[in-house]
A and B are shown apart, each in its own frame.
Chain A
């Protein structure tokens, strides 16, 4: 009778691959990890994040955005052959690549901001590596079963059953990988057209090569290499030490509460000794996709996916103890609580200092308060992030969609004509950066008495020409400017080319130089 009242809990034989007791040579074969299924609020949040990120990735190319008859109607499109990038209402020409550079800066600073406040949330929730590994683990569990079944299958000798399970798992992985690669190519061409071409074998070779490469990398990284990508290939774990400080939230094992851990708490308590909340069930190790033991402290491998929090909370619930033995905590809170539990560090952890016998915690314990997020460091990151963002936004809202580039002929710099007048040649490029045909008026400002003529336009020399320009295209003109000898003032005179769209009042100017010999006559 008495035994039944005890909470039932599973005890798992799990051991951290990087535990200090384990001998770690410099080169070592991988120790296989069989993450157990976790459940809890963080797991649910991760499912949600996975659905959203995968949804964005797969569906974005299929969104339509009407830009009129002269531009593609795909909302997000990287048009490499025409060197244009379309993002909803934004169209970017190659010379405007700084927008992409700015977005990368924002992504970098944003990553700093997030990491310094809530640790490696990017790694644990949204990194493609994490999302795809999660997805691949779903497949693995569905086919081979949860941790124990998988370990048994892996240890067992090859049989027909094992072969079937393994082949089907890898086949589904490959299908997912191919779908991942397949989804990528639609960002680079009209998706509805391309999907037909892909399945009829008429798409460009580069499409198939891209799918093949991404299939291979997705399958290898997400299916075969998994945590090794994070541990060995990714630079972010190395940078995290610089990003985290004592007020960053990280997944923490609160050993001020858990120690001394014991599997035989009742027995030890009965013997009159102190025992912490950790029952050493190893559930936190078993669910860890990185295969580490969070109780060893914050470590390079930890992607802060919080699955250990979920599973430990579940155990605590079963034991009737308060949740949060493993929790998001800051180093300063942890240190403060550790000081309480160890009476200022003078003694080993003593549970009686923080907890009464009926489980109530001491008032001296520190708890996280959201105000700790607001500190100079996060304000600086936020400020830098907003500054870049606002600068991009400002530049985007005020950018010119009509541009003018002028190249002065250098050889010869000037030509003397038979009536003594001086002629200079210019290559004038008109950039109509909107997807509508326009008539651009090119005018000369300054350079007294001079007139221009444009090659290919059979009109008498004038100081102003109306030039039709195709939608979203560059128009190159060869312009000859001629100034009568009597008007020439000096060897280098400046004047302006001005382009204007009379309909939208957009305009641009370019200050050009007009060269003449030192002595005109």
Chain B
């Protein structure tokens, strides 16, 4: 640059660029900055050779180090599987009561069962296993088919009224609307409601007891405590799957609804089912 391109004030040469009288000085960049800049370029070249970088038509260059983030994920998942492996193997080999007796194993099973529950069970039983009308609450201490871990395992394995499993838990309450009169239904419903302490009209309850003795005791038992062999509910407790009022009971006597649960053994396998059984048992109502 010629001398006329030297700025008078600072003594620095100028680029010759000028905007509205503001002229640009040609200050050199600091040396360390320039060196760092070139180092990053060299680094970038090496990096794009070593690692996947340049986009091609359908994929990208693989990089000489063979790095792949998908492989990383695969490896991490495999490592997690290996870490879980010893627990899973133990759960597979042991009976459910043995699992329950081993603290570490039980803890693992509760966690794994909880995860499986969130995927497979919450659709009917709810995210907190709290159930809803027609779908049992698994937190409470009332069990239609038995509440110890073995019985829960059996229920999950084969399901309830699941047609394609020959060992499924099966029972069906007849539709009494076709068998007894409407008055009798009203009477027996009042009786059933009175069993769990709900105040009812004595004029209905007394004949209701007679209707009950003639039609219901075969399954629900003389004292109406139910029968777990048949999945017949205890009518004396506070828990009513289809509603506790006289109207709800009458509807159930007239034309009963029957819940269906799939057999999970085919879909989840024995180990998962054991984990689920341990989890459900741990919710607070397990026997």
Contacts and interface: CB of A to CB of B under 8 A. Distances in A.
B139 A25 contact: no
Contacts of B197: 420, 521
A382 to B, nearest CB: 43
Interface in A470-489: 480, 485
A417 interface: yes
A521 B127 contact: no
Contacts of A456: 103
A29 B31 contact: yes
B31 A418 contact: no
A279 B139 CA distance: 94
B139 A415 contact: yes
Nearest to A485: B238
B275 interface: no
Given A412-B129, A415-B285, A423-B139, 10 more contacts: A27-B27, A27-B29, A412-B126, A415-B130, A415-B137, A416-B238, A417-B140, A418-B142, A418-B238, A455-B282
Given A412-B130, A415-B140, A521 B238 contact: yes
A455 B103 CA distance: 12
A520 to B, nearest CB: 9
B239 A418 contact: yes
Contact of B27 (A25, A417, A419): A25
Contact of A25 (B12, B238, B285): B12
Contact of A416 (B27, B103, B140): B140
A3 B214 CA distance: 141
Nearest to A456: B103
Contact of A412 (B27, B28, B139, B142): B139
Interface in B1-58: 10-12, 27-31
Report the 6 A-B pairs with minimum CB-CB distance, sorted nearest first: A411-B128, A420-B238, A418-B237, A412-B130, A415-B139, A418-B142
A114 B216 CA distance: 91
Given A27-B29, A423-B284, A521-B197, A418 B234 contact: yes
Interface string A47-68: 0000000000000000000000
A397 to B, nearest CB: 39
A371 interface: no
Contacts of A418: 140-142, 234, 237-239
A419 B237 contact: yes
Contacts of A409: 128
Given A25-B10, A425-B284, A412 B237 contact: no
Given A23-B11, A27-B30, A423-B284, A411 B238 contact: no
A410 B128 CA distance: 8
23 contacts: A23-B11, A25-B27, A27-B30, A409-B128, A412-B126, A412-B129, A415-B137, A415-B139, A415-B284, A415-B285, A416-B140, A416-B238, A416-B239, A417-B141, A417-B238, A417-B239, A419-B237, A423-B284, A455-B282, A480-B284, A485-B238, A521-B198, A521-B238
B115 to A, nearest CB: 15
Interface in A407-457: 409-412, 415-420, 423, 425, 455-456
Interface residues of A, number: 22
Nearest to B10: A25
Interface residues of B, number: 29
Contacts of A425: 284
B123 to A, nearest CB: 15
Contacts of A419: 237-238
Contacts of A416: 137, 140, 238-239
A26 interface: yes
Contacts of B198: 521
A415 B197 CA distance: 19
Contacts of A29: 30-31
Interface in B111-165: 126-130, 137, 139-142
A258 to B, nearest CB: 32
B66 to A, nearest CB: 23
Contacts of A480: 284
Contacts of B142: 417-418
A420 B238 CA distance: 5
A23 B10 CA distance: 8
Nearest to B31: A29
Interface in B192-242: 196-198, 234, 237-239
Contact of A411 (B31, B127, B285): B127
A456 B285 CA distance: 14
A423 B285 CA distance: 10
A427 to B, nearest CB: 13
A423 B27 CA distance: 78
A411 B27 contact: no
A479 to B, nearest CB: 10
Contacts of B11: 23
A29 B31 CA distance: 8
B141 A27 contact: no
A492 to B, nearest CB: 18
Residue from the set B31, B198, B238 with the largest chain A CB neighbour count within 10 Å:
B238
Contacts of B129: 412
Interface string B243-287: 000000000000000000000000000000000000000101100
A415 B196 CA distance: 17
A464 B130 CA distance: 28
Residue from the set A412, A480, A521 with the largest chain B CB neighbour count within 10 Å:
A412
A174 B198 CA distance: 87
A411 B103 CA distance: 24
Contacts of B139: 412, 415, 423
A281 B90 CA distance: 86
A417 B285 contact: yes
A207 to B, nearest CB: 24
A412 B129 CA distance: 8
Contacts of B234: 418
A359 B234 CA distance: 114
A232 to B, nearest CB: 11
Contacts of A410: 128
A415 B126 CA distance: 13
Contacts of A521: 197-198, 238
A107 to B, nearest CB: 32
Interface string A358-389: 00000000000000000000000000000000
A29 B33 CA distance: 12
Contacts of B10: 25
A416 B12 CA distance: 86
Contacts of B28: 27
A485 B238 CA distance: 10
A325 B28 CA distance: 41
Interface string B83-110: 0000000000000000000010000000
Contacts of A485: 238
B7 to A, nearest CB: 11
Nearest to A28: B30
